[in-house]
Amino acid sequence: MVAPGPPAFVRLAAHPLRWDLLTVLARGDHRVRELVSLLGQPQNLVSYHLRLLREAGLVTATRSGFDGRDSYYHLDLDRCADAFAAAGARLHPVLRPAPSATAPGRRRISVLFVCSGNTARSPMAEALLRHRAGDLVEVASAGTRPGSQLHPEAGRVLRSDFGLDLSGHRPRHVDAVAGQRFDRVITVCDRAREACPEFPERAHWSIPVPSDARFHDTAAEIDTRVRHLLPVLAADLT
């Protein structure tokens, strides 16, 4: 018996504008007006298709930590991966994706994470990428308005959840690394995105300011994004 039509994900992603939205959001988080500019489509049309992607659970929205009247849209790559896998398996079991491997490279990719204080989100991202990527990357972090010391909850959570030691981290200003070349610069808070100097290959992860009770969730979200970044960095080496 033939299955009744393509899976819902295939029907959803097959629309040209929705596919373009997925493609742009796969590279980083954006506000609606930025998506309108990037895609050259009317705002009402972009908002309509974003709503459909949100209802399907593929895209989420978070209030900007810089301007609470605005929102950043984020692509849930885990949900997309599950949907792709399920769609392929519907066609034939052989199309289930094989586990990906980190591609060997001749050089190391350099990555800079930036947040406001360089006391929590950016040092957590730095430590997690170094932990996940090993020799694949040279990674650093900095802040647009650095604090005096690492947030104690950032150190405690990374130690308890991932076995990582951040005791040697000292916050620094992004100006301290302005003369260095980075293959990728990723801002991990909305305020830093607005204040960060222009770097080539800059992307944004809209990660809210963590309260003491939410540091475990923040660390888990950053780790998920870091794991999704790894195949992108591996592809840069091929």
Mean pLDDT of 83-87: 88
Pair (114, 190) in one structural domain:
yes
In the structure, what pLDDT confidence band is assigned to residue 100 with cuts at 50, 70 and 90? very low
Q: pLDDT (tens digit, 9 = 90+) per residue, 102-134?
A: 444 457 899 999 999 999 999 999 999 999 998
In the structure, what pLDDT confidence band is assigned to residue 85 with cuts at 50, 70 and 90? confident
Beta strands in the chain (DSSP E): 59-63, 71-75, 109-115, 137-143, 184-187, 202-204
pLDDT at 201 over 90: no
Q: pLDDT (tens digit, 9 = 90+) per residue, 153-170?
A: 999 999 999 999 999 999
Pair (67, 119) in one structural domain:
no
Whole-number pLDDT of residue 5: 81
Report which of residues 128 and 7 the model is more confident about: 128
Mean pLDDT of 18-29: 96
pLDDT above 90: percentage of residues in the chain? 70
* CATH number, position 231: 3.40.50.2300
Contact predicate 237/108, CB 8 Å: no
Q: Has residue 55 been placed in a domain?
A: yes
Pair (89, 115) in one structural domain:
no
The dihedrals phi and psi of 30, each to the nearest 5 degrees, come to -145, 155
Pair (149, 224) in one structural domain:
yes
Q: Has residue 2 been placed in a domain?
A: no
Residue with structure tokens 């929102």?
A: 71
Q: Has residue 184 been placed in a domain?
A: yes
**What's the rounded Cα separation, in Å, for the pair 71 and 62?**
5
- Quote the mean pLDDT of the chain: 90
Q: Has residue 214 been placed in a domain?
A: yes
Tokens read off for 22: 């997925």
pLDDT above 70: percentage of residues in the chain? 92
Which class for 163: exposed (0-12), middle (13-18), buried (19 or more C-beta within 10 A)? exposed
Q: How many CB atoms lie within 10 A of CB 183?
A: 17
Pair (117, 227) in one structural domain:
yes
Pair (86, 135) in one structural domain:
no
Contact predicate 65/209, CB 8 Å: yes
Pair (80, 26) in one structural domain:
yes
**Which residues pair with residue 233 across a beta bridge?**
none
Find the domain containing 49 and state its range. 8-95
Single residue among 95, 121, 149 that ends a domain in this structure: 95
Residue with structure tokens 């932990």?
A: 131
* CATH number, position 41: 1.10.10.10
**What's the rounded Cα separation, in Å, for the pair 74 and 64?**
12
In the structure, what pLDDT confidence band is assigned to residue 97 with cuts at 50, 70 and 90? low
Q: Has residue 75 been placed in a domain?
A: yes
Whole-number pLDDT of residue 2: 54
pTM: 0.79
Q: Has residue 1 been placed in a domain?
A: no
Count of domains observed in the chain:
2
Q: pLDDT (tens digit, 9 = 90+) per residue, 37-69?
A: 999 999 999 999 999 999 999 999 999 999 889
